[in-house]
Structure 1
Amino acid sequence: MQVDGLRRLKLHSVDENEDVLVNVRGGVGLITLNRPKAINSLTHPMVNAIAPVLDDWADNDDIHTVLVDGAGDRGLCAGGDLVALYHSARAEGPDKGKVARSFWYDEYRLNAQIGRFPKPYVALMDGIVMGGGVGIAVHGSVRVVTDTTKMAMPEVGIGFIPDVGGQLILSRAPGLLGLHAALTGATFGAGDAIAMGFADHFVPHDAIATFKEAVIAGGVDAALAAHAGEAPASQFLAQRDWIDQCYAEATAVDIVAALRRNGAAAANDAADLIEAKSPTSVSVALEAVRRATKLDTLEDVLRQEYRTTCGALRSHDFEEGIRAQVIDKDRKPKWSPDSLAAVTTADVEAYFAPADRELEFT
């Protein structure tokens, strides 16, 4: 039965899409994102390969655990395929944004599927884990970080809004650490990931391959007992005094002003980061994370994120942000509006308008 199940799964994924490798060993379903040259950036075919695999494994008694990792030594996943999204945003006529909306629709449904997966879902968040890579990992039940983990929700830097269920985690982080991460797009490591609720366990990078084999040989609990250890201290938690004070201000303009007034060098650095991002995206991200505190479920948050995502697709800054960071790589985006003060309440509210096709879950 296990052999037949594996054969069926290969028809869904490996044979048709080598960017996702699927295997079964010792009752553990193994999913490896396999685009190492692109730091395993997530494409629509990859999303569509993973979803049916998880459907099959959820009901397969021969599979007791799922483990997800990334090929190569650079990271689990650097995010979504921004080049494809850029070209979709630039398309003309009825095709404008069609590919991007379809990708996000299916990606967010996959995020929800991971969140409700009925068996242990182990995500190895070694190296770079950003954007869409966060969505593949953090809604699982066993989330492992290492000393090489570099995590971020950097969307505001490309004229986008934190998504893939990230608004849920950011809104539940201690104090206002989630707003700090969302508005700055700053990279953080293992200690901060665990402190903010993006991860559960720390395993040293040098032991991650052995840990994976231990999960296959003896199960998750035994592997954690043998290899998990104490994570590095959280730098964000150590700075909660000024973070909680400054990010409690009413608007993004007020937050930056409070950061500038604060005596901590890190607070001034945070202000610099925020002011370099898309002013509209920063303002929408602030409102989105605050609204997410009042939403009950991952699915509720994903519905909100799909609206803000579609809002970003209608904007000037999304296309411009990808152009500056990925296409031309001049790192000089020309945002419109070009300052936080110029962003209006109406600009922000437009991102929360119903989508033409609202996100639904089966």
Structure 2
Amino acid sequence: MQDGEIIIERRGIAGLVRLNRPRALNSLTLPMIRTIAEALHGFAGDDQVAAVVITGEGERGLCAGGDIRALHESARAGDGLAASFWREEFRLNHQIASYPKPYVALMDGITMGGGVGLSSHGRHRIVTERTRLAMPETGIGYVPDVGATWLLPQASGEAGTWLGLTGLDIGAADAIHAGLADVQIASSRLGEVIDVLSALPRGSASGDVDAVLQALSEPAGESRLSQNAAMIDRAFRFDTVEEILAALAGEEGDFAAETRRVMLTRSPTSLKLALTLLRAGRRSASLAECLGRELGACLQMLDNPDFFEGIRAAVIDKDRNPQWSPASVEAVGAATVERFLKPAEPPLEL
């Protein structure tokens, strides 16, 4: 099946889902989400399919996230599309996390935001030497979503907190260190991955897929997050953004200085809300609980000035100079954060 933005096919025992918006870095639209969900449902019930592989067309990446320009326009118009997008995207994330068959994500190139949701919840996550993974939401006046507040708190030490607050991109070794990916395979061999998986016998299970991926894998090299783990753990162990920034100011070295500099460019409201959601995710019992909490925050974003300003600066005017309101972390009061924690109505159905 091919509808332009998504290509669905079966090759041997593998069901293939190919994101096909390369000019837009395969950013997700609501019809794409619906097509993927329908395809996964169909493959799950197809006895001829033993594994599913998701990949992105083009040379630049798997998926850069949701189509934030469309979300911006929907929020401005108040037409409900943004709310529908988040609800159905989060249901898809949960569907992937609980998928009954081996789910293989090829995280080649840019894999950010919604792209992480399509991949890191899966059972088999492949990165390459070209992978650039990020949850960049605090830079556009938004917060990590797609179940990131479940995934990131499970990362080693405070690496997930660093990722969620800074929004900086990382490579393959860091993604594996943070528990968001499993193995590195050269980008030049991804076609071979699909060919070998497709040729597996019917009835193949997760262990058979693991064996294929391990045989094709290569060392991921050194992780910058691992190298700086002690500093990250010291600075990001606090439960307030003010304390984290103060701790970073007291650390030596370029990594800490750059981390602090970047955080000071992010939306102060997003930083405080993101940290609140990440800490809540750490205490949560399930992905479903985190997704429900994220949806409540997302729906409140439709009235958040920083959300509109961040997208304006990033993709509308592209001046990269957002004017946040409030402009400082200290000016963001508890009541401002609290209003984003209102439960979604109706609740997320999973």
CA contact (8 A) 1:126 1:146 kept: yes
Task: Give a deviation string over 1:248-306, Cα, whole Å, max 9, x none.
Answer: 22311121111111112110110111110100000000010000011111111111111
Instruction: Give the counterpart letter for 2:65 in structure 1.
Output: G
1:201 to 175, 183, 197: 183
| Correspondence list, 1:219-230, <5 A | 220-230=209-219
Q: Please state whether the residue corresponding to 2:212 is helix, strand or coil.
A: helix
Q: Is the 8 A contact 1:152 1:188 kept in 2?
A: yes
In structure 2, the CA distance between the partners of 1:313 and 1:232, relative to structure 1 (3 Å rule), is: farther
- Deviation string, structure 1 residues 134-169 (Cα, Å, up to 9, x no partner): 111111111000010000000000010100011111
| Helix, strand or coil at the partner of 2:199 | helix
Q: What amino acid maps onto 2:297 in structure 1?
A: T
**Counterpart residue number, 2:68:** 82
The one of 29, 36, 45 aligned to 2:15: 29
- Whole-angstrom CA distance in 1 between matches of 2:79 and 2:234: 39
* Cα distance in structure 1, aligned partners of 2:213 and 2:320: 41
Structure 1 letter corresponding to 2:134? A
Of 263, 274, 280 in structure 1, the residue corresponding to residue 252 of structure 2 is 263
Match of 1:104 among 74, 79, 86: 86
Q: In the aligned structure 1, how far is the partner of 2:328 from the partner of 2:250?
A: 19
Whole-Å separation in 1 of the counterparts to 2:86 and 2:41: 19
Give the structure 2 partner of residue 215 of structure 1.
197
Percent identity between the two aligned chains: 44
- Residue 34 (structure 2) pairs with residue 41 (structure 1): no
> Is the counterpart of residue 155 in structure 1 residue 137 in structure 2?
yes
CA-atom RMSD in angstroms: 1.1
Matches within 5 A, 1:317-328: 317-328=306-317
Alignment match, 1:138: 120
Relative to 1, partners in 2 of residues 1:261 and 1:100: Cα closer, same or farther, differing over 3 Å? same
What is the 5 A alignment of 1:160-199?
160-199=142-181
Structure 2 letter corresponding to 1:37: R
How big is the shift at 1:117? 0.6
Q: Equivalent residue for 1:3?
A: none
Query: Which residue does 2:300 correspond to in 1?
Result: 311
The amino acid that maps onto 1:323 is R
The TM-score, its normalising length taken from structure 2, stands at 0.96
Deviations 1:36-64 (A, max 9, x none): 00110011000011111111111111110
Residue of structure 2 in register with 1:67 after alignment: 53
**1:313-333, Cα deviation, whole Å (9 max, x unpaired):** 221000110000000001111
2:231 alignment partner, SS class: helix
> In structure 2, how many angstroms separate the alpha carbons of the residues matched to 1:236 and 1:23?
37
Report the equivalent of 2:203. none
Do the aligned partners of 1:215 and 1:222 also contact (CA within 8 Å) in 2?
no
2:331 corresponds to: 342
Contact preservation (8 Å) 2:239, 2:279: no
Q: Which residue of 2 aligns with 1:244?
A: 233
Contact 2:128 2:172 in 1 (8 A): yes
Q: After TM superposition, where is structure 1 displaced by more than 4 Å over at least 4 residues in a row?
A: none
Q: Unmatched 5+ residue regions in structure 1? A: 1-9
| Residues 55 and 48 of structure 1: CA distance in aligned 2, closer, same or farther (over 3 Å) | same
Give the CA deviation at 1:348: 0.8
Greater mean deviation of Cα atoms: 319-328 or 56-65: 56-65
1:353 paired residue number: 342
Following superposition, the deviation at residue 226 of structure 1 comes to 2.9
Q: TM-score, normalized by length of structure 1?
A: 0.93
Corresponding position of 1:7: none
Show the counterpart of 1:117: 99
Amino acid of the structure 2 residue aligned with 1:68: I
Summarize deviations over 1:76-103 as a string: whole Å, max 9, x none.
0011001101111111xxxx16110000
Cα distance in 2 for residues equivalent to 1:130 and 1:275: 21
The aligned amino acid for 2:116 is V
Structure-1 separation of matches of 2:278 and 2:28 = 24
Shift of 1:184: 0.4
Q: Secondary structure at the match of 1:175?
A: coil
- Alpha-carbon distance, 1:308 to partner: 1.4
Which AA in structure 1 matches 2:19? L
Deviation at 1:222, TM superposition (A): 4.6
Distance, in Å, in 1 between the alignment partners of 2:87 and 2:210 is 34
SS at structure 2 position matched to 1:358: coil
Specify the code of the residue in structure 1 equivalent to 2:176: I
Q: Is the contact made by 1:169 and 1:196 (CA closer than 8 Å) also made in structure 2?
A: no
8 Å contact from structure 2 (residues 135, 163) kept in 1: yes
Aligned 8 A contact 1:138 1:198 in 2 = yes
Distance change >3 Å, CA 221–CA 271, structure 1 → 2 = closer
- Structure 1 residue 311 displacement after superposition: 2.1
Which secondary structure state, in structure 2, belongs to the residue aligned with residue 262 of structure 1? Answer: coil
Quick one: structure 1 residues 233 and 258, their matched pair in 2 at CA, closer, same or farther if it must change by over 3 Å?
same
